[in-house]
Structure 1
């Protein structure tokens, strides 16, 4: 075996070292080099038996090189582009965000965490950004190094063991889902929101958000933290990477008072008109006159990313669910239907303005 492999490897080395090799080497070799493959790896991929036979026939080194080039030219060509997926799922995004938050709280660098866990810095970086789905053992090792214990550690380890295109969170798990939502909002190329009974969260004014959250059973301090978090997320609307934000709102949301003070709705509806007029933003209304329409049963948000990936998130009173990639096709069709049923931008502005006048009269 050694007698056939070494001459064949020498043949490939001759190809690589040749002054004219850059121009005459077949695409298969050049693409392999671009991909970072060694000459030996290329030889093995093409077939060491074929190359080894060249040397065993007693051909000169030059003849071996010419014959090897011919063999490589006949080899299957790799695809033009090999893309590494930048999407490992909502669970991976949430786990990565929690790990990053814990690491930052300790003031640790990735290098220090790598030394403490024996996991490479590049792997940790991909885990934190949600590009790589971490293994249970990796999550346990990282959390132990970062002194994360108790229920938080248990939830993240359990989450690492779940593999599904849908992630259902109930109760406390919704808080974990918020980590993934925050990551999606920072990375999405387009965000589409549909709300039936209230204004979408990314469009809510502080007073409006406070009025909604005040109806929850939480304590006053927790409510205020929730308001702060919701309003703070709205900076994503001015993010340079966000190419499109579209909100579809049922007319019922315009009609519903969230506080007894009319100023709340005046401020909120004014914000809808202002944001809807920004470049790359749209706010459109589903009027009562449309009657029932496909999608009116429930609110959802769809995030679209580079590479064709998409995620839908639905949240109810005590649970939330992420639906990913192919499973989101139904929601894409619902959005197309909403686009057909909703008033266009000028008509939506006119309807919002009419409600604005009514609330203004009540001040």
Structure 2
């Protein structure tokens, strides 16, 4: 294999470098795009778009490619440089993303915004914009977030349950058409056998997770870890007793939620209401 340039924070045009490495590594391996898709479990067209520079994919895709090519983190490093937001990849969040990509099942509670794994591109765009992100950085972060949704695609995708506070569904996008698309997307993905969506109505009252976005990850070795997030920071919880306390709180909240069938009915009602409103 020919020597490669060092990867540093001052690498020039990291997105182009990322694209070049993807093409070179696949050529050296002798894989077709379809073979790569079959081996790694993503649609082959995703890798084609990545090699054209049309999308970065998600960090979990870069990690899978690193493992496939034996490149020891090279592609993930280039992905991070191309994504262009160094603060997003503090060590604890990088660790969380690694574990998320390895999880066999995930379950989540949302306080005020949809989890990234269920967001449409327009929703991600508006949410990140509200957080003060703009320009090329916004484009990169939207791409990264949508790329992570690949975790829920495919025959071997992780199982995912999301319990949504009603407040999440009562906070629409400014563009009514895009909000309808988001609600339609929730209904569509809830029909997948690996995804369950439930809603906690406002009349359920206060509970232990009222102000805490929480994601639990069940790993291959049987361990469960949790990611707890506010609007400004997140923390990876790995200590067993702490995770179990959070799990108990989550179970109590889930007991307050509508059934999956009733939740779909509720989302459909919101969609019907939104469809009667004029588009902005």
| TM-score, length basis structure 2 | 0.66
Name the residue aligned to 1:334.
249
The unaligned stretches of length 5 or more in structure 1 are 1-100, 110-127, 130-141, 153-170
Q: 1:212 to 1:348 in 2, by over 3 A?
A: same
Query: SS in structure 2 opposite 1:318?
Result: coil
Counterpart contact for 1:196–1:252, Cα < 8 Å: yes
Query: SS in structure 1 opposite 2:167?
Result: helix
Name the residue aligned to 2:265.
350
Cα distance in 2 for partners of 1:297, 1:189 equals: 26
Query: SS in structure 2 opposite 1:214?
Result: helix
Counterpart contact for 2:93–2:236, Cα < 8 Å: no
Cα distance in 1 for partners of 2:178, 2:275 equals: 10
Q: 2:87 aligns with which of 172, 175, 189?
A: 172
Q: 1:253 to 1:183 in 2, by over 3 A?
A: same
Alignment of 1:3-14 (within 5 A): none
Name the residue aligned to 1:219.
134
4+ residue segments displaced more than 3 Å:
104-109, 173-178, 239-243
Counterpart contact for 2:114–2:168, Cα < 8 Å: yes
The unaligned stretches of length 5 or more in structure 2 are 1-13, 26-62, 65-71
Q: 1:305 to 1:244 in 2, by over 3 A?
A: same
Number of residues of Structure 1 aligned to a counterpart in Structure 2? 206
Point out the structure with the larger helix share: 1
Q: 1:187 aligns with which of 102, 111, 114?
A: 102
Q: 2:235 aligns with which of 311, 321, 324?
A: 321
Note the C-alpha offset of 1:225: 0.8
Q: Does 1:253 align with 2:194?
A: no
Alignment of 1:11-50 (within 5 A): none
Q: Please tell me the root mean square deviation across aligned C-alpha atoms, in Å.
A: 3.0
Note the C-alpha offset of 1:223: 1.0
Name the residue aligned to 1:304.
218
Alignment of 1:117-128 (within 5 A): none
Cα distance in 1 for partners of 2:259, 2:251 equals: 13
Q: Does 1:288 align with 2:172?
A: no
Note the C-alpha offset of 1:219: 3.1
Structure having greater relative contact order (Cα 8 Å, sep ≥ 6): 2
Note the C-alpha offset of 1:177: 3.9
Q: 1:318 to 1:292 in 2, by over 3 A?
A: closer
Larger radius of gyration: 1
